[in-house]
Amino acid sequence: MDPQLRAQFNADFTPEKYTALVRCVNETEKWPADFRISETPIFLTRDFTDEVTRAANAIVALTRTPEFARHAAPAVPTGLEVPHESAHPNFLVVDFAICEDGNRLVPRLIELQAFPSLFGFQLLLLGCIRKAYPTIPRNWTSSFGGIKDEAYLGLLRRTIIADSAPENVVLLEIEPEKQKTRIDFAATETLLGICPVCVTKIKKRGRQLFYDRDGREVRIERIYNR
């Protein structure tokens, strides 16, 4: 961990600033966080961040080989294959634990998941952290790989919306307003303009799908499946 940033943060921390952080998170979007917000971020050193990034990239690279595709194919039950499946998933999330190895900290793989995580919420939380704790340097970020906020948002927009209009893209869930991660759905709607829609509200006519948006029936071109 970065001792300088940790010392600066601890010296400047007050309960009032934490209260401001929680208020920002819970009042910025239409839905609050239904889970506890930590008082502090983790301040990783550049060396540790680079080590985690290299490990994640190495793991992802292994999943993109023909050998892995052949090995993983039997995991999908017969009859449940997706037609016209892309060569690789749009989203990969690599979860690491931080473990002790002698006198140093090292990343250890917990799991790899090929579906989205809190991609909208993490940008919301980062903004609230910066507002509540001005002692944190402006160039500090929760993103890996050196990507800046606007570049991250642009990549998210290109991946989820692509060439469609935002209203023709939906964030699909089961009763999204009841999910623990609903704050992420709200943040994604604010960032990208796509609505969270319950799967039971989708209408099918022929080979096309529709949903109601502000009293209008809108055709769905892309689905962000959360």
DSSP one-letter string for 74-92: GGSPTT-PPTT--SS-S--
- Each of the 226 residues of the chain gets a pLDDT tens digit; together they read 889 999 999 999 999 999 999 999 999 999 999 999 999 999 999 999 999 999 999 999 998 898 988 898 888 898 888 888 887 889 999 999 999 999 889 999 999 998 888 999 999 999 999 999 999 998 888 888 878 899 999 999 999 999 999 999 999 999 999 999 999 999 999 999 999 999 999 999 999 999 999 999 999 999 998 7
Judging by DSSP bridges, how do beta strands 208-213 and 203-205 pair with one another? antiparallel
Tell me the C-alpha distance between 145 and 61, whole Å.
15
The helix (H) or strand (E) run that includes residue 169 is: strand 169-173
* Residues β-bridged to residue 104: 101
Q: Is 38 exposed, middle or buried (0-12, 13-18, 19+ CB in 10 A)?
A: exposed
Q: Of 117, 155, 145, 122, nearest to 52 (Cα)?
A: 145
Tell me the C-alpha distance between 75 and 41, whole Å.
37
Contact assessment for residue 159 and residue 224, using Cβ atoms and an 8 Å cutoff: no
pTM of the model: 0.89
Contact assessment for residue 211 and residue 201, using Cβ atoms and an 8 Å cutoff: yes
Tell me the C-alpha distance between 159 and 152, whole Å.
11
DSSP one-letter string for 31-61: S--SSPPPSS-----HHHHHHHHHHHHHHHH
- Sign of the CA dihedral running 111, 183, 179, 164: negative
Contact assessment for residue 213 and residue 222, using Cβ atoms and an 8 Å cutoff: no
Tell me the C-alpha distance between 146 and 206, whole Å.
45
Residue pLDDT, tens place only, 158-206? 999 999 999 999 999 999 999 999 999 999 999 999 999 999 999 999 9
* Phi, psi dihedrals of residue 66, rounded to the nearest 5°: -60, -35
pLDDT at residue 81, rounded to an integer: 83
